Amino acid sequence: MRQPILIERDAQVATITLNNPDKLNAMDLSMWQGLTEAIQSLSADDTLRCVMLRGAGDKAFAAGADIAEFDTMRANAAQAQQYGEITNATMRAIAECRHPTIALIQGACVGGGLEIASMCDLRICGKSSRFGVPVNRLGLVMSYGELGGLVALAGPATALEIVLEGRVFDAAEAPLVARWHKQFVRRLLDPKPLRPEEHAESYACFDTEDFRIGHRAFIDKTRPQFVGR
């Protein structure tokens, strides 16, 4: 049986491996939960000096969230918010880890994979590394908890370039999510704390027509024709 998260120790260094190589280490729910638990456990270990994160194999660090779970676990805004609370807990665990964290990146590092890497203290990349947040292909946006780490790492201008272009499609092909991403980045730069209802708003895209169009096009491997609703 596949263990979704592997932990190895070498003296004072721990290595966490995202273990789903058949799907380019796409993160399913068990992996998000397992990664949170692993980070929290290692953070409490005073004998450690460093925690490294990597993906199994040499083709990917992590290719984002597992799209196969969308139909059952992220089919609408309410489900997406519950799922987001789990993924955001992972981001917080990495950010709050007491030991230095290093992402060792080979191959694809996109979507949720880039979010994880952006929360680490350092990133070491191989020549095969590829980065991006192509969520606009699905008619989706990154939530505040996911986007915050990318903005902090890359700055608002570069973060907007990444999410608006999607590195695959240009912004004109995803009009609704482009507008929302601009709104989210501006709000993250506002010093006032985010209100609970604002966090909920960042999952509203799961109830849009664009999400349904993008999700179906992704599954069918066709080009989405977004309508901006």
The answer to whether residue 229 is domain-embedded is no
Residues 151, 52 share a domain: no
Residues 1, 66 share a domain: yes
The residue out of 85, 112, 132 marking a domain boundary is: 132
Residues 126, 22 share a domain: yes
Which stretches in the chain have pLDDT values below 50?
168-174
On the 0-12 / 13-18 / 19+ scale of CB atoms within 10 A, 73 is: middle
The answer to whether residue 228 is domain-embedded is no
The residue out of 107, 132, 157 marking a domain boundary is: 132
**CATH number of the domain that residue 84 is part of:** 3.90.226.10
The answer to whether residue 227 is domain-embedded is no
Q: What is the pLDDT of residue 39?
A: 97
The answer to whether residue 80 is domain-embedded is yes
Q: Name the nearest CA neighbour of 53 among 1, 111, 143, 125.
A: 125
Residues 121, 153 share a domain: no
Q: What is the pLDDT of residue 169?
A: 30
Number of structural domains found in the chain: 2
Residues 121, 146 share a domain: no
The answer to whether residue 79 is domain-embedded is yes
Q: What is the pTM of this model?
A: 0.72
Residues 210, 156 share a domain: yes
